[in-house]
Amino acid sequence: MKKAMKTVIITGGNTGLGFEAAQVIASASHEWHVIIATRSQHRGNDAANDLIRITGNANISAMVLDLSSSSSIHHFVEQFSKAELPPLHVIVCNAGSQFVQGTQMTADGIEATFGVNHLGHFMLVRLLLNHLQENGRIVVVSSDTHDFSKKTGMPAPRYASPSILADPVESDRLLGILSDLAKGQVRYTTSKLCNLYFAYELSRQIQQSKRSISVAAFNPGMMPGKGSALTRDYSPLLRFMWNNIMPLLRFVRSSVRTTKQSGNDLANLILRSSVQSGTYWDGPKEAASSEESYNKEHALELWKWSSEKLNLKIQV
């Protein structure tokens, strides 16, 4: 067995997009040690064992990470620091949640979609940044749903002050009389816009610090089907359509993809010899994200608020 030389952390790597990307990376080279970061040690171990069996690469392990809990994120980073693993080269911010059965909050009292999809990953990356090797890479999984002009079928994001987005009561007030389904969807698309603000500002901050770490954002497209856990909170009818009807759309719309196809694209973005920092990738191709996603004022506002909320320094 070839000794692993570098580590990649994939949040939400036990299923769907993250699992497919992990499989491609582990198959590409046994030099990679793949960490499946997931909320359940049991599910993580099952995924790691499946990946070892499929790829023949034994350098795969699972670690518990709950992005809705700051204490869990701290514990993950502490455990990672103590583990005798190869140097960290890549962090993949892949895990994501969507809540459509009423307003949810994290263990820290943050509106859950914003808390998991943005703030949890923000905290994880900031705490791991000193572990990341020069010429390392951070990939933030966003979505084309951040861009209403793409006509994805999802509502437009509604960015507001982060203090409003993070507060369950203020967030409810912002979204007014929308149904629980619509509120959940708007929160999701807004969080995907926040992912881009984060990726672009992180790239600028790292460049200012003179470190040679690249940051890329990735759009996997819509991936309907049983491989995705994103609709687990949906009604039985909507879940049936997502799992059985909507996958057929990939034959007529290039933005609708399988998890295997997008997992391969995500893995290839990780495995590329170089990636220009601050870029957005639509599947296998570099592309432009929405005009609003390049709003530097909003990106810096979100960065400063998130840093202060988590008691982190503004500069990396």
For 241-294, how does the pLDDT look when each residue is reduced to its tens digit (9 = 90+)? 546 655 555 665 666 678 899 999 999 999 999 999 999 999 999 999 999 999
- Global pTM reads 0.92
> What confidence tens digit (pLDDT) does each residue in 189-201 have?
999 999 999 999 9
Contact 96, 141 (CB under 8 A): yes
| Secondary structure tally for the chain: helices H, strands E | 11, 8
Q: Which two tokens stand for residue 110?
A: 């943050």
> How many CA atoms does the CB half-sphere of 176 hold within 13 Å?
2
Q: What is the mean pLDDT of the segment spanning 150-162?
A: 93
Torsion angle in degrees (nearest 10) through CA of 100, 111, 18, 304: 140
**What mean pLDDT, rounded, does the chain reach?**
92
Stronger pLDDT, 150 or 117, i.e. the higher one: 117
Q: Please state, in angstroms and as integers, the Cα–Cα distance from residue 48 to each residue in 60, 179, 265, 298, following that order.
A: 6, 38, 21, 38
> What confidence tens digit (pLDDT) does each residue in 227-246 have?
555 566 666 766 665 466 55
Q: Is the pLDDT of residue 225 over 90?
A: no
pLDDT for res 222: 65
Q: What is the mean pLDDT of the segment spanning 121-137?
A: 97
pLDDT for res 209: 95
pLDDT for res 272: 94
pLDDT for res 179: 95
Proportion of the chain above pLDDT 70, given as a percent: 88
> What confidence tens digit (pLDDT) does each residue in 12-50 have?
999 999 999 999 999 999 999 999 999 999 999 999 999
Q: Tell me the helix, strand and coil percentages in the chain, rounded to 5.
A: 50, 15, 35
